Structure 1
Amino acid sequence: AGQVKSQKERMLAGELYVANDAELSRENHRAKRLVWEFNQTTEEQPEERQRLLTAMFHKIGAGGYIEPPFHTDYGTNTTIGQHFYANYDAIFVDV
């Protein structure tokens, strides 16, 4: 018999999964908290914005910039390349 996949593993494999799984719920709530904090920052806080994006995403390249507000499901499933720019109201669906 094969190993049973977690709901997160099923999600990342593109399979059907239960979105309100405890692990996925914790990760989604973490992302919501970080996104809320990021969206409260101002242009005078570039270091804080970078800190939050670094904490949120799997990887963010040098010069990556996102104009608040924006939203994401998890963030940890997203890689941002160098010199990336997203204008306000971007939504990253990273299930």
Structure 2
Amino acid sequence: MGYDVSFHPISPEEMQKWYFTPLTWVQQGQEEKVLALAAQHGIEDFYAEKYLDTLRVGAGTAPDELFDKSHGFYIAVIQGFFRDYYYTRGSA
């Protein structure tokens, strides 16, 4: 069985700015703020919608869900909308 490795460089400040703050916007019904943030960073409309979809999933995550399998994964996904990431399959 193979394995995948990805590296998503993101700072704590970026996590707050790109994930946790927008997550609260989604929870408060302020999704237009998410789309505005995406536009500020030049994210194409298609990917802005995927960003918003990811935050919607995060907003619906149960509080007892494992962080690594939920928010930690979603943070890696949204980082890919803002900056390059690195991915390999079956290698180190």
- TM-score of the superposed pair, with normalisation by structure 2: 0.38
Decide which structure has greater strand share. Answer: 1
* Greater relative CO (CA pairs within 8 A, separation 6+): 2
Bigger CA radius of gyration? 1
Higher helix share: 2
